[in-house]
């Protein structure tokens, strides 16, 4: 039987841990709500932009003069990984890392060997992970301290410029999509060149006026929609991170509670045993005196 | 006319308006009731909104796009200063 003092100190340490995990859960829940609101706010913008682009591209035949949809094969690749700066969020970060490793070892093995693959990590976790594995990697970890369109825009512009200048032939995003607080869906998405999304072709018979001209508008809107796509991935990942952390911390709190109750039982048993022992000693001592 | 001004970070304005003046890429223009359907990109500049009760509101935007169709105006601005 473990001694009383040992159990007591264990109980107090479990209690402290439980306090920490439940506080982290609360914080994540609050942050999750904010992150979710951000996603909801961007949705109308993204939808409208998509709609306007849809209206335009119907009447536009030549996509060739668009520098962002040229398919040059996959010689030089940029892999963008989005995960979190902090840990304690279950499998959130590990999932991204695992997927990226898988891509590096299979799909892009050739590019890795010929040193034609760059990784851009958003989130410290992936950055540390792949640096340890000896990959060349750049980071944009600071993006999370100011997660708004103003700060994200330049990053995407830079990437788009590199693509237009043929530094990269393909840009791939790996991130967690937010489904709900408990579920994240790992996404591997091609950012560039633009893949034709299958849109429901609702034939709008509206005869729009275009200013300055159709081509110019398309050229202006496509980079913008790319930026939005990237921004949306970031927001998704951000919300998913808090969701994952909330779930993980909830489980940890539950575990601590369970552990605490079993410790309590153990403690009470030990206490009772020691009291019985003492009484036994007294009684037997008295017996001995009597005789 | 119904006007909506949306940025990636928030919905700035939504409501019934009389007139909207926007900084089009080729020059500023105004949208009044029953304007023909138009899609235009916007540059940097002031957006003037006249509400139903003749109150004027100004927004400073940087780049955007406007769509007008059937007295419904959607203004997507990249940034509102």
Is A11 inside a domain boundary? no
A67 and A152 Cβ atoms separated by less than 8 Å: no
Q: Which positions in chain B have a beta carbon within 8 angstroms of at least one beta carbon in chain A? A: 4, 6-11, 24-26, 29, 36-41, 63, 65, 67, 69, 74, 76, 78-79
Q: Find which of A41, A42, A45, A202 to mutate to test the B interface (most B CBs within 10 Å of its CB).
A: A45
Is A283 inside a domain boundary? no
Is A126 inside a domain boundary? yes
Q: Reduced to 3 states, what is the DSSP secondary structure of residue A267?
A: helix
Q: Compute chain A's Rg from CA coordinates.
A: 29
Pick from A235, A237, A224, A234: which is nearest to A50 by CA?
A224
Question: What is residue A19's predicted lDDT score, i.e. its pLDDT?
Answer: 96
Closest-CA distance, B62 to chain A, in angstroms, reads 11
Chain A residues with CB under 8 Å of B36 CB are 209
Q: Give the H/E segment covering residue A188.
A: strand A183-192
Closest-CA distance, A37 to chain B, in angstroms, reads 10
Give catalytic status of residue A23 as yes or no: no
Number of Cβ atoms within 10 Å of the Cβ of A41: 16
Question: What is residue A205's predicted lDDT score, i.e. its pLDDT?
Answer: 62
**Domain B2-80 coded CATH 2.60.40.1180:** no
Is A116 inside a domain boundary? yes
Is A290 inside a domain boundary? no
Residue with tokens 């036994």: A280
Question: What is residue B47's predicted lDDT score, i.e. its pLDDT?
Answer: 92
Read off the pLDDT of residues B5-63 as tens digits, 9 standing for 90 and up.
988 888 889 999 999 999 988 889 999 999 998 889 998 999 999 999 999 999 999 88
Is A112 inside a domain boundary? yes
CB-closest option in A52, A148, A149 to B67: A52
Closest-CA distance, A100 to chain B, in angstroms, reads 29
Is A109 inside a domain boundary? yes
State the complex-level ipTM. 0.81
Question: What is residue A12's predicted lDDT score, i.e. its pLDDT?
Answer: 95
Contacts of A21 (CB under 8 A, 6+ apart): A249, A252, A253, A256
Residue A88's Cβ-count burial label (10 Å; 0-12, 13-18, 19+) is: middle
CATH of the domain at A204: 3.40.1380.10
**Interface touch B8/A228, C-beta < 8 Å:** yes
Residue A282's Cβ-count burial label (10 Å; 0-12, 13-18, 19+) is: exposed
CB-closest option in A42, A48, A206 to B37: A206
CA distance A267 to B8: 57
A178 and A184 Cβ atoms separated by less than 8 Å: yes
Is A260 inside a domain boundary? no
Give the DSSP letter string of A225-236: HHHHHHHHHHHH
Chain A residues with CB under 8 Å of B11 CB are 41, 44
Question: What is residue A209's predicted lDDT score, i.e. its pLDDT?
Answer: 84
State the angle between helix axes of A214-290 and A149-164 in degrees (0 to 180), rounded to the nearest 10.
120
Question: What is residue A63's predicted lDDT score, i.e. its pLDDT?
Answer: 55
pLDDT values of chain A reduced to their tens digit, one per residue, 291 residues: 568 899 999 999 999 999 999 999 999 999 999 999 888 888 888 888 888 877 776 666 555 567 777 788 888 888 888 888 888 888 888 888 899 888 888 888 888 888 888 888 888 888 888 888 878 788 877 778 778 888 888 888 888 888 888 888 889 999 998 888 888 899 898 888 877 665 555 555 677 888 888 778 888 888 888 888 888 888 989 999 999 999 999 999 999 999 999 999 999 999 999 999 999 999 999 999 886
* pTM of the predicted protein model: 0.83
**Backbone phi and psi for residue B45, each to the nearest 5 degrees, phi listed first:** 160, -165
Overall domain count for chain A: 1
Question: What is residue A71's predicted lDDT score, i.e. its pLDDT?
Answer: 80
């Amino acid at each position: 039987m473990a001694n009383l003092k040992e159990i007591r100190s264990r109980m107090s340490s479990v209690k402290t841990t439980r306090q920490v995990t439940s506080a982290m859960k609360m914080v994540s829940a609050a942050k999750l709500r904010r992150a979710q609101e951000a996603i909801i706010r961007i949705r109308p913008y993204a939808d409208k932009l998509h709609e306007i682009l849809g209206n335009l591209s119907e009447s536009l035949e030549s996509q060739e003069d668009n520098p962002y949809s040229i398919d040059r094969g996959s010689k030089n690749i940029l892999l963008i990984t989005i995960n979190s700066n902090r840990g304690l969020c279950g499998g959130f970060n590990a999932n991204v890392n695992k997927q990226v490793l898988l891509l590096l070892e299979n799909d892009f093995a050739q590019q890795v060997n010929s040193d034609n693959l760059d990784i851009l990590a958003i989130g410290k976790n992936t950055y540390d992970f792949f640096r340890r594995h000896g990959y060349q990697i750049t980071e944009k970890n600071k993006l999370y301290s100011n997660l708004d369109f103003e700060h994200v825009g330049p990053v995407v512009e830079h990437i788009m410029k590199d693509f237009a200048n043929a530094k990269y032939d393909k840009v791939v995003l790996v991130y967690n999509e937010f489904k709900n607080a408990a579920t994240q869906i790992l996404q591997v998405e091609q950012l560039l060149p633009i893949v034709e999304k299958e849109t429901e072709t609702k034939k709008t018979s509206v005869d729009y006026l275009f200013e300055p001209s159709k081509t110019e508008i398309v050229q202006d809107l496509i980079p913008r929609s790319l930026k939005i796509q990237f921004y949306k991935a970031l927001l998704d990942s951000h919300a998913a991170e808090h969701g994952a952390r909330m779930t993980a911390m909830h489980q940890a709190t539950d575990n601590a509670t369970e552990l605490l109750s079993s410790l309590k039982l153990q403690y009470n048993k030990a206490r009772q045993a020691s009291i019985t022992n003492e009484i036994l000693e007294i009684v037997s001592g008295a017996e001995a005196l009597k005789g | 006319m119904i006007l909506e001004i949306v940025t990636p970070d928030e919905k700035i304005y939504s409501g019934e308006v009389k007139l909207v003046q926007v900084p089009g890429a080729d020059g500023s223009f105004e949208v009044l009731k029953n304007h023909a359907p138009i899609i235009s990109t916007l540059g940097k500049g002031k957006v003037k909104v006249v509400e139903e009760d003749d109150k004027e509101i100004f927004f400073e935007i940087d780049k955007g796009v406007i769509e007008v169709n059937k007295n419904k105006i959607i203004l997507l601005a990249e940034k509102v200063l």
